[in-house]
Amino acid sequence: REALAATARLCGPELERYGRCVAASPGSWHRDCRGLRDSVTRCASAHPLVRRIGRDCSESLRALERCLRERPGNAAECEPRAGAFLRCAQSVT
């Protein structure tokens, strides 16, 4: 939770814009919101704890991203992978 809270605190505006884009583009967010996703990534990578999560949880993060890419119109199917990533991130903190 600490890492997620740190990311939200440090990168709140970027996360908010990305979230609005994803919500507005349910079938094409993976294309339409790529630049915004990259800005969240750049912002988050500036925080040491977030970098550590990215390193230690890269496998579960890649699985989540792959699932989201393969199911652009039905992200709910990726909830198990999102949960695995969140559990990993919490274990790092």
d(Cα 83, Cα 93) in Å, to the nearest integer?
Answer: 16
Residue-level pLDDT, tens digit, the chain, 93 residues: 566 676 777 778 888 898 889 888 878 888 899 999 888 888 877 878 778 888 898 899 889 888 888 887 777 888 899 889 888 888 886
Instruction: Spell out the domain ranges in the chain.
Output: 2-92
pLDDT, residue 71, reads 83
Q: Which of 87, 93, 17 is nearest to 50 (CA)?
A: 93
pLDDT, residue 10, reads 76
pLDDT, residue 49, reads 79
The residues near 89 (Cβ < 8 Å, ≥ 6 apart) are 3, 4, 53, 57
The model carries a pTM of 0.59
pLDDT, residue 28, reads 86
Q: Which residues of 35-53 are buried (b: 16+ CB within 10 A; e: fewer)?
A: ebbebbeebbeebebbeeb
